[in-house]
Homo-oligomer: A and B are copies of this chain.
Amino acid sequence: MRLKIKVLKFSAGRPVAIISEALAEKASIHVDNRVLIKKNSKSIVAVVDVAKEFVGKDEIAVSSEIVNQLSLAEEDYVIMELAPKPESVWLIQKKLRCGKLNEKELAMIMDDIANHALTEAEIAYFVASVYNCKMNLSEVHDMTLAILKSGMRLGLKGTIVDKHSIGGIPGRITPVLVSICAAAGLTIPKTSSRSITTPAGTADAMETICKVEFTLSELKEIIRKTNACLVWGGALNLAPADDKIIQVEKLLNLDPEAQLLASILAKKLAVGAKYVLIDIPFGKNTKVDKKAAEILANNFKKLGKSFNLKLDCFLEKTEEPLGNGIGPVLEMKDVIKVLSRESPCYKIEQKSLALSAKLLEMTGKAKKGKGISLATDILNSGRAFEKFKQIIQAQQGSLDNMKETRLKHDIIAEKNGKIKEINVKKINTLARFLGCPVDKSAGVYLYKHLNEAVKKGEKILTLYSESEAELEEGLKFYNKFQPLLIR
């Protein structure tokens, strides 16, 4: 069916096409049906909405996703057909019955996700199937490959290294580590996520001082200048299928292991990393306990081997935030204190050095056992801070960009004692109530760490927020759930 387009000046987050009721009736098309829209050799699958008066019966209104994909201009004509249910829907059904998917089948699912041929609900079924039925390592390998193939590659030269943390613990290691490694001559094209379950992802924290969204060619230019980058991965189209899956996982804060493994490895492969370090904190209130951390590390190593990567894991018991700040701005302030040698900021420095040392040794930049002294030297000499400033500049930012928070409220100790517990999950929720990660300057500042002594009347926390309502909500949450245990 040939239809004249009407450009909708909005992005619906997914391709949306609106047709008239009259046309819908004639063509037996219903709201939420999928249609295939074609122009010359390009095509896109869109979900249909039906309008009463908004479009003519020979017209189709299309959202900006469709305009961009098909390079449309006002007055253009397109061909619209009913899109059949993609075969991948039946493959998802198979996985939901705990069947095993092969390489070709997983590639079909990932391609259909990347091409918007599956709805969010269908992707949710896929996530649930992986969550409930698990995947064996050969399936995970095939899914990794499928995610990789659905996206772009960076195509860099040099000794490319990468690092990933399975997260859950506030505190930014990555900017320090990237600065040290790049200063040592390694290429480290670090793409990070925005916050999924914590108050800040590395991308959220970096965004407080510089841009983090770039095109692939802009990114290459940044890396050419600095050997490194610290950007948001979602804008790069390196793993579009995975980016969509993560959006759907977020709805329920799900993170099935098979998906986690494939998602991380695919992104490392897409940037061309040959040396990969996975940071797996474990302990009470983190994502995994010690045993699960060991199993996960083992699976990461096996999967890395199947792709000929030099992959190692860093396991450490972690039961409190790594720095003092919790929230994008506050965490970035910790990073700058460490890089500028102003203060070690609790465990941020120590862990950044340990991870950097491991990468320096894996790549042969330092001899076995000598990584820590090389990393420490690069940090102490100011070379890491210089590198960081280069990266920020290349990413069109400045250290002066950081915003001060509008409102704050101190929490005072009501008795003498020792900090017996810092509940990371509750601290994360507290920071979210205060406005993280949407308000980048919101969050929590922690003056005391585990086992430190506290005197009655001493400041133990400061809550930061941009709005009175959120500050109040945060305070209410704090009083009800007491994230710190003093005894």
Contacts and interface: CB of A to CB of B under 8 A. Distances in A.
Given A121-B120, A251-B122, A10 B50 contact: yes
Contacts of A13: 31-32, 49-50
A64 interface: yes
Given A10-B51, A49-B10, A50-B10, A252 B96 contact: yes
Contacts of A11: 31, 49-52
Interface string A121-159: 111110111011100000000000000000000000000
Interface string A235-261: 000000000000110011110000000
A32 B120 CA distance: 11
Contacts of A438: 28
A356 to B, nearest CB: 34
A411 interface: no
A240 to B, nearest CB: 16
Interface string A156-184: 00000000000000000000000000000
Residue in A32, A128, A132, A247 whose Cβ sees the most chain B Cβ within 10 Å = A128
Contacts of A127: 125
B9 A89 contact: no
Interface of A: 8-13, 18, 28, 31-32, 49-54, 64, 89, 92-93, 96, 98, 119-125, 127-129, 131-133, 247-248, 251-254, 438-439
A452 to B, nearest CB: 33
Nearest to A27: B438
A89 to B, nearest CB: 6
A92 B253 CA distance: 11
B125 A89 contact: no
A10 B120 contact: no
Given A31-B12, A119-B120, A252 B125 contact: yes
Contacts of A18: 10
A252 B122 contact: yes
Given A121-B120, A122-B252, A251-B122, A10 B132 contact: no
A96 B10 contact: no
A98 B51 CA distance: 41
9 contacts: A9-B51, A11-B52, A93-B252, A96-B131, A96-B132, A96-B254, A124-B124, A124-B125, A125-B128
A51 B8 CA distance: 9
Given A96-B132, A128-B96, A251 B439 contact: no
A8 B32 CA distance: 17
A247 B30 CA distance: 12
A252 B92 contact: yes
A132 B125 CA distance: 11
Given A10-B52, A121-B248, 14 more contacts: A9-B51, A13-B31, A13-B32, A92-B252, A93-B253, A96-B128, A119-B120, A121-B123, A124-B125, A124-B128, A125-B127, A125-B128, A125-B252, A128-B129
Contacts of A92: 252
Contacts of A49: 10-13
A369 B248 CA distance: 56
Contacts of A439: 28
Nearest to A48: B13
